[in-house]
Structure 1
Amino acid sequence: MQALDHIRVLDLSRTLAGPFCTMLLGDMGADIIKVEQPDVGDETRRFTPPTWDGISSYYLASNRNKRSITVDLKTEEGREIIYELAKTADILVENFRTGALDQMGLGYEQIRQINPKLIYCSVSGFGRTGPEKNRAGYDLLLQGYGGLMSITGEEGRGPVKVGTSLVDMNAGMFAVYGILSALIARERTGKGQFIDVSLLDGQVVLLNYLATSYFATGRASGRLGSAHPSIVPYQAFPAKDGDIILAIANNSLWERACRALGWEDLREDPRFYTNDDRVAHRDLLVAIISARIAEMDRQEIIHKLDQAGVPAGPIHTIDQVLNHPQVLAREMVLEVEHPIVKDLKMPGFPVKLSDTPAQVHRHPPLLGEHTEEILLEMGFLPEQIEGWRASKVIGKG
């Protein structure tokens, strides 16, 4: 049993935010029907390099636990197929530009007439309302537009994006949050509803304490590298043999760190007594600590601070993370059988449910792999399917 194994999702999304959302739902057991354009498919299928046995690694990362059907939404017959799918679906997820699906007859107001219980989730760059609703939205664009790049990087240097597509995946997670909330509401009301998720909104809410700090002071935070605007020392430092993170988040930890590392002079210095003092003298203290840590071995520092109960650790590279004993013990690397890709591996399930755990039950599908299977399930006749294939309403499969 899985938590969502009674739920069907009609997935009209592509690229990352929407597919990441639907993959998470699929991990919990939902039947994800991924609708793709015939002969073309999700654009991430062409995001190369790198490829893995000829398939885009980008596409593989966010499309497990789905079935792929290829349908031309611009044809009347293709839309009829979507209408039939919508009748039995619980959720529809899409990330077309604002108004595009309405023009095709596949918008929320049109679909709800077919299935009033359907939960219809739209994911877009700027949302379906407001003066910017028609703007295209991509992760990089919204990292800048939503303020993230203004606080990422080193002081006095140019803007830097976060290394992964954080804004896209954050929106995907908020979409899951909205969908699950709507499912709970439907149990009480019997009705579906429209969910409007935007990359911009998701990024604004992640500003969190930086936003309230601005409202409190009227000053916008800038770039601090790895440092924290309200806590010192709480950043990366270069040791003799590699970088290290010190996360000394309160006065008790500061005292323990100083004792463990033999920094009694710093512990007794009135300029550094409290966190407020340390923030006020940030530049001086960081310079002193940097000079001392540069003369020490990274593992020596970590060992001493671990013994003292002070959070500290190395900065791992991606390969080190994916081979780390703790990551492996948490089953955060999955091996997935695939008809083409040998030894396919991908990140695992970050949420562990004791009774209804996430599972892999389908590999990332080949383009149109399940077209005929799904259409037959819906009750269409083999000759109808062949006719649609001949007229290119559906793909070859």
Structure 2
Amino acid sequence: MSNSKSPQSAPDESATFNAPLQGLRVVDLSHVQAGPICAMMLADMGAEVVKIESLEGDMYREPIAGSFYQNFNRNKRSIVLDLKTEEGKDVALGLVKGADVFIENFIPGAVERLGLGYEVLRALNPALVYGSISGFGQDGPWVNRAAFDPAIQALSGLMDATGEPGRPPVRTRAAMIDYCAGTTMAFAIVAALFRRARTGVGDYLDVALMDVGMYAMSPYMTFYKLRGVTLPRTGSAHPATAPNQGFRVRDGYLYIAATSDRMWRDLCKVLGVPELAQDPRFATRSGRMKNARTLIDAVSPVIEKRDGSELEAQLLAVGIPCGKVRTVAEVFDDPYVVSRGMLEPTRGWIGEDVQSMKTPIRLSGMSSPLRRPAPALGEHSVEVLRELGYSASQIDRLLATQVVAQS
């Protein structure tokens, strides 16, 4: 498949990046976060991804100035299809016939009703790897229950474990279950492709957000099964080591993780409280956990008087993990962000200069280049139809009848 000729496209730097998935063809019938994140990861590694959107477009094109869509749909092309029409479905089937991977994240049964279920697509393309991401899997009592990341955080126990003691449960702002589900499916797809290379046969992959949420909470579920106890909310503190939490400093907050006996002694030295290092109540990890409240009460007043950045530097110098709590705006000021090159400037489809994040994966020291920014709605519809062999008159008719749309 050829790259977009749109003036919005970034320069092609793929010649300097040995993309491991170059030549892989992916049809992305997903929306919102988990599915698009999965397809984005494949696209970042060189796969050619065609995203199928409805006439209304992915609902995440709008929120926070399109920032969700901009980050989750880079390196893809967009075609708009009315899949409720036979002609629209025929275009989708044409894409699938030549594809390696198909991704969807609708409520179970929805794609079957569109005529794009696994059995139909497998008959058309036996080598297809078909990935379904859902809230609660493809069967079971909650199969038709709608799901978003925060609801899964609530249902999986993650939200109950998060927040300050004595206060309501708190969700994480970043949709970590969606990210983890998308990453899990991307790994599953690559694993299935690896097996397909030996067998020639595709596969059906089922990833449920609820399973991913429980998987993330697995240590605490195991502990409950062992002891019959649920750990209480501890705010920023870790339930197994102390001091391992955020502390107020003179200019904000600083997270300190003095997790070993040596780190504890060095922390006391830096803070100028050597007597605490000699206190037998705090000499061992188990002792520090048993007396955690007393320990925190002892060091907090000392830490509060310190400048956060200065204390951060002193602790890092003696090998104690720590970090000043920063706002999103403050993160950009750090030389680390520039040195790693994670931010990629481009011209977004909304007509503004935007910066999105590259993948954190590095191959031979290189991060994947931005081959194209997240596409405008239907930006590549005509281009994709031409590649499928549609004539100019056929394309004009599909556009006129709104089976297909082009931005």
Q: TM-score, normalised by structure 2?
A: 0.93
Q: Distance in 2 between matches of 1:281 and 1:29?
A: 52
**Is the CA contact (8 Å cut-off) linking 1:2 and 1:356 kept in structure 2?**
no
| Residue of 61, 70, 86 corresponding to 1:45 | 61
Report the alpha carbon displacement of residue 233 of structure 1 after superposing the two structures with TM: 0.3
**RMSD, matched Cα:** 1.4
2:11 aligns with none
1:233 aligns with 243
| Residue of 52, 56, 64 corresponding to 1:35 | 52
Query: Would you say 1:134 and 2:144 are equivalent positions?
Result: yes
Query: Would you say 1:169 and 2:201 are equivalent positions?
Result: no
Which residue type is aligned with residue 19 of structure 2? Q
1:324 aligns with 334
3-state secondary structure, aligned to 1:150: coil
**Is the CA contact (8 Å cut-off) linking 2:185 and 2:207 kept in structure 1?**
yes
Report the alpha carbon displacement of residue 330 of structure 1 after superposing the two structures with TM: 0.8
- For residues 1-397 of structure 1, the aligned pairs below 5 Å read 1-38=18-55, 40-47=56-63, 50-51=64-65, 56-338=66-348, 340-354=350-364, 357-397=367-407
Instruction: Return 112-121 or 163-172, whichever deviates more.
Output: 163-172
Closer, same or farther: CA 30–138 of 1 in aligned 2, 3 Å? same
Q: Distance in 2 between matches of 1:90 and 1:141?
A: 32
Q: Distance in 2 between matches of 1:101 and 1:174?
A: 21
Which residue type is aligned with residue 261 of structure 1? L
Report the alpha carbon displacement of residue 340 of structure 1 after superposing the two structures with TM: 4.6
**Is the CA contact (8 Å cut-off) linking 1:29 and 1:359 kept in structure 2?**
no
Which residue type is aligned with residue 139 of structure 2? T
Which residue type is aligned with residue 6 of structure 1? G
3-state secondary structure, aligned to 2:355: strand
Report the alpha carbon displacement of residue 355 of structure 1 after superposing the two structures with TM: 7.5
Q: Distance in 2 between matches of 1:130 and 1:158?
A: 30
Residue by residue, what CA displacement relative to the aligned partner does 1:125-156 show, whole Å, maximum 9, x if unpaired? 11112211111110111110111110111011
Closer, same or farther: CA 340–103 of 1 in aligned 2, 3 Å? closer
Q: Distance in 1 between matches of 2:284 and 2:365?
A: 46
Structure 2 unaligned blocks of 5 or more: 1-17
3-state secondary structure, aligned to 1:149: coil
3-state secondary structure, aligned to 2:309: helix
Q: Distance in 2 between matches of 1:103 and 1:85?
A: 18
Which residue type is aligned with residue 114 of structure 2? M
Q: TM-score, normalised by structure 1?
A: 0.95
Q: Distance in 2 between matches of 1:298 and 1:336?
A: 35
Aligned-residue sequence identity (percent) comes to 39
| Alignment: residue pair count | 390
Which residue type is aligned with residue 325 of structure 1? P
Residue by residue, what CA displacement relative to the aligned partner does 1:19-58 show, whole Å, maximum 9, x if unpaired? 11111111111111000112x11111232xx32xxxx222
Report the alpha carbon displacement of residue 226 of structure 1 after superposing the two structures with TM: 0.2
